[in-house]
Amino acid sequence: MKVLVAIKRVIDYNVKIRVKSDETGVETTNVKMSMNPFDEIAVEEGVRLREAGSAEELIAVSIGPKHAQETIRTALAMGADRGIHVETDDEIEPLAVAKLLKALADKENPDLVILGKQAIDDDSNQTGQMLAALMGWSQGTFASELGISDGKASVTREIDGGLETIQITMPAVVTTDLRLNTPRYASLPNIMKAKKKPIDETTPADLGVDTAARLTTLKVTEPSSREAGVIVEDVVQLVDKLRNEAKVI
């Protein structure tokens, strides 16, 4: 079985996000970047499938600027066999990402595509579902447990009411949730080995995919700061503030 894992380079989750002064987006200059945390979980799950003998090859794919190769190297150090970099400096929307992944899947012919359920920069939570629709494949989203057996995948999903377990036929698209696994740290020997692993380079034009933006960002602003709370003396004062100040009753 061949597994394709999609990864995204995002602002590190420990970094405090700053909005640009012209409100056109967030500041990325001299800001630490790293792999999207949900995608780290996807890579870890792919590595575990290969270690268990369920998968023979694990391919890490990233779409983005030249620096995205650093993110691919991280996936290779975690255990991926090779990487594919779709180089573009444009801001790629989820539908375009899904189309690019479909083009790569048509070439690589994987049995399973694993993605993080969402990226922490845009929180779109769309790419996996769009890819499954474009491919006509089964899908298991928000996976907290994954098992492969006899050409089928058993996926335990995180839903509002608790957990739901479904069985889907392969090939399939699976999106990962936080409780699926705990990603490993890449060891120094594996980091050195990753430098020798191949990364194929391509572009959206090579894949025949139009990545033109269909959405326009009008303005990006920071959320308004919360006012300090107050301690009231009794219920009468609380009701008075709710009625006359907050105007919620």
**Residue 14: closest CA among 35, 28, 40, 32:** 32
Rounded to two decimals, the pTM is 0.87
Q: What is the pLDDT of residue 145?
A: 96
Per-residue buried b or exposed e for 57-84, using 16+ beta carbons within 10 Å of the residue's own CB: bbbbbbbbeeebbebbbbbbbbbbbbbb
Q: What is the pLDDT of residue 73?
A: 97
For 40-58, what is each residue's pLDDT tens digit? 999 999 999 999 999 999 9
Domains in the chain (CATH in brackets) are 2-219 (3.40.50.620)
Rounded to 10 deg, the angle between the 68-78 and 37-51 helix axes is: 30
Q: What is the pLDDT of residue 102?
A: 98
Q: Under 8 Å CB-to-CB from 139, ≥6 apart: which residues?
A: 128, 129, 132, 168, 172, 173, 174, 175
Q: Which amino acid is at 227?
A: E
- Quick one: what percent of the chain has pLDDT higher than 90? 84
Q: Compute the C-alpha angle 221/226/228, nearest 5°.
A: 155
Q: What is the pLDDT of residue 191?
A: 94
* Residues of the chain under the 50 pLDDT cut: none
CA distance 120 to 124: 9
